[in-house]
Amino acid sequence: MNQMSIEEIKEKTSKYLFQNYGRADLAFTHGKGCILYGHDGREYLDLVAGIAVNALGYAHPEWTAAVQAQVGRMVHVSNLFLVKEQADLAERIASITPSGMDRTLFANSGAEANEGALKTAVRYTGRGKVLSALNGFHGRTSASLGATGQEKYQKSFEPLISGAYGYFPFGDCEKVKEMVDGDTAAVMVEPVQGEGGVRTVPAEFFKTVRDVCTDKGALMVCDEVQTGIGRTGEWYGIQNFGVVPDIITMAKALGGGVPIGAITTTAEISSVMVPGTHGTTFGGNPLVSAAGCATIDIMKKEGLVAHSKEMGARWMNDLRGISSPKIKDVRGYGLIIGVEMDSAETASHVQKYCRENGVLVNVCHGNVVRLIPPLILNDSQKDRFTSLLKEAVL
Ligand SMILES: Cc1ncc(COP(=O)(O)O)c(C=O)c1O
């Protein structure tokens, strides 16, 4: 294997790539399970999973075999033709979504899935207004950026964002009731605000959004890009609240690592998207669809959704048991857990301490250590982080 030094990779990166990411000085040659192997010769326990993507970890033997077999047969064919693998994956998605939500349109990323969902909602309702939560994150394309209620992401791109968007505080039932009206096409919400610091709100909020949307004829769009496909201990995060939205968007974990996105809804809502309204060259091609089928099959076979719920509950219990003024809150569902620290400095210290000790964690929203590991994580791996956190804060 061509193992370059970190310095060489860094030099090439700064010479040939856009400098739009704040990258750590780390690069990896390969991974196995929850472990990443670095160009620095070290092993790292990965609790980031490519930002909630690698649900099966790295190089899962069955997933790898399915993807390799598909590569050998056919990677891509156009949506001008029937695509068997795409229909197979849509059928699998129908098997894990609430009943009646059995029509899927494929995209290539989370932002694109959200873009397609909003286009669908606008066409279905014949209305133009989209409401979403402050501090949410829905992606970086024009419409998904418009729905992202955070100035830091929208700043300098205002010309691309129309006046179609409005924002309510996440969890504010009264504001939602006040804002949704006869011009509202969609209310887009995350079940747990991932990028926004693993923020959670009571079930009552989602029930209110559901009721108000039904009442006013708007569509409830659930952005499950980060929370979907088992992450929260249910197939979809919104299932933790007993609410069924009109449209679900997903991406990240769906393909087990390949770029994929999807919009799932009812036959009735999907029917407005006739030929010519929306589409993408790569969306749901045989390769990513085969990867998606393998991901869902393996998750079912290995019981990873239940594992996520059970391990997440125990982990949060352990973390809440650490008594330190530096830990302000521990929250989440399943294996999306946010440990809110007393300051950005503490969060960054925890991240650095973990990395020095061979564990990768992500810090989001300034002071929140976000744990979004592969769903195959085992107990000793979970405990390794808990011990390091204790050492870092006590
Ligand atoms: C909830 C949510 N929606 C949308 C996106 C955008 O997805 P992508 O980066 O695949 O475009 C993200 C990415 O982090 C996300 O967390």
Residue-wise pLDDT tens digits, 19-58:
999 999 999 999 999 999 999 999 999 999 999 999 999 9
Nearest to 138 by CA among 193, 202, 186, 206: 193
Mean pLDDT for 288-299 is: 99
How high does pLDDT run on average in the chain?
Answer: 97
Output the CA 150–ligand 1 centroid distance in Å.
Answer: 14
For ligand 1, say whether the CB of 113 is within 6 Å of any of its atoms: no
Instruction: Determine whether the shortest distance from the Cβ of 109 to ligand 1 is under 6 A.
Output: yes
**246 pLDDT band (50/70/90 cuts)?**
very high
Question: Average pLDDT of 189-198?
Answer: 98
The structure tokens listed for 199 are 């923020």
CA neighbor of 176 nearest in space, from 151, 201, 152: 201
Six token digits for residue 332: 């989440």
Give nearest CA residue, ligand 1 atom 13: 139
pLDDT at residue number 3: 77
Mean pLDDT (whole number) for 335-358: 98
Counting from 1 in the atom list of ligand 1, the atom nearest the Cα of 193 is 1
Q: In angstroms, what CA-CA distances link 382 with 7, 45, 260?
A: 31, 10, 28
Does ligand 1 come within 6 angstroms of the Cβ of 241?
no
Outline where the chain has alpha helix (H): 6-16, 49-52, 61-73, 84-96, 110-125, 142-147, 151-154, 173-179, 203-216, 267-270, 286-301, 304-320, 344-356, 379-393
337 close to 330: Cβ distance less than 8 angstroms: yes
**Mean pLDDT across the stretch 337-342?**
98
How far is Cα 60 from Cα 117, in angstroms, rounded to an integer? 31
Nearest of 101, 110, 181, 171 to residue 139 by alpha carbon:
110
Question: Which of 137, 189, 231, 232 should be mutated for ligand 1, with most atoms under 8 A from CB?
Answer: 137
Tell me the CA–centroid distance for residue 324 and ligand 1, in Å. Answer: 32
Segment 104-112 mean pLDDT: 98
HEC sequence for 320-362: HCCCCCCEEEEEEECCEEEEEECCHHHHHHHHHHHHHCCEECE
The finding on whether 221 has its CB within 6 A of some atom of ligand 1 is no
Q: Which fold has domain 62-301?
A: Aspartate Aminotransferase; domain 2 (3.40.640)
pLDDT of residue 9: 97
- 3-state SS assignment for residue 306: helix
Distance 138 CA to ligand 1 centre (A): 5
Residue 31 confidence (pLDDT): 98
- Ligand 1 within 6 A of 255 CB? no
The verdict on the CB of residue 46 being under 6 Å from ligand 1 is: no
Residues above pLDDT 70, as percent of the chain: 99
* Beta strands 165-168 and 219-223, pairing class: unpaired
Token readout for 100 is 């009646």
Residue 333 has pLDDT above 70, yes or no: yes
The answer, yes or no, to whether any atom of ligand 1 lies below 6 A from the CB of 115, is no
225 lines ligand 1 (CB under 6 A): yes
pLDDT at 282 over 80: yes
Average confidence (pLDDT) over 230-252: 98
Residue 152 reports pLDDT greater than 90: yes
Q: Measured from the CB, is residue 289 less than 6 Å from ligand 1? A: no
Distance, in Å, from the CA atom of 147 to the CA atom of 132, rounded to the nearest integer, reads 6
Measure 111 CA to ligand 1 centroid, in angstroms.
Answer: 6
**Residue 239 predicted with pLDDT over 80:** yes
| 246 neighbors 221 (Cβ within 8 angstroms) | yes
Do 256 and 291 touch, CB atoms closer than 8 A?
yes
> Which protein residue has the closest C-alpha to ligand 1 atom 7?
110
| pLDDT tier, 313 (very low <50, low <70, confident <90, very high otherwise) | very high
112 and 249 Cβ atoms separated by less than 8 Å: no
In the numeric block, which tokens belong to residue 143?
């419409």
- Tell how far the Cα of 254 is from the centroid of ligand 1, in angstroms: 13
Domain borders along the chain are 62-301
Distance in Å, CA 51 to ligand 1 centroid: 9
Residue 249 CA to ligand 1 center (angstroms) comes to: 10
d(CA 122, CA 164): 11
pLDDT tens for 73-97 read 999 999 999 999 999 999 999 999 9
Percent of the chain, pLDDT > 90?
Answer: 97
Q: Is the CB of 110 under 6 A from ligand 1?
A: yes
Q: Check whether 1 has a pLDDT greater than 60.
A: no
Residue nearest to atom 4 of ligand 1 (CA): 138
C-alpha separations of 261 from 2, 44, 208 in Å: 32, 28, 27
* Rg of the chain on CA atoms, in Å: 21
Question: pLDDT tens-digit profile of 356-379?
Answer: 999 999 999 999 999 999 999 999
C-beta of residue 194 within 8 angstroms of C-beta of residue 223: no
Angstrom distances, CA of residue 123 to CA of 163, 221, 226, 382: 17, 14, 25, 45
Give the pTM. Answer: 0.98
Indicate if ligand 1 lies below 6 Å from the C-beta of 226.
yes
Residue located nearest, by CA, to atom 16 of ligand 1: 226
Show contacts of 245-248: CB within 8 Å, 24+ apart: 245/210, 245/219, 245/220, 245/221, 246/121, 246/213, 246/219, 246/220, 246/221, 247/117, 247/120, 247/121, 247/186, 247/219, 247/220, 247/221, 247/222, 248/97, 248/101, 248/221, 248/222, 248/224
The per-residue pLDDT for 2 is: 60
Report the sign of the C-alpha dihedral through residues 66, 67, 73, 77, in that order: positive
CA atoms of 344 and 365, how far apart (whole Å): 9
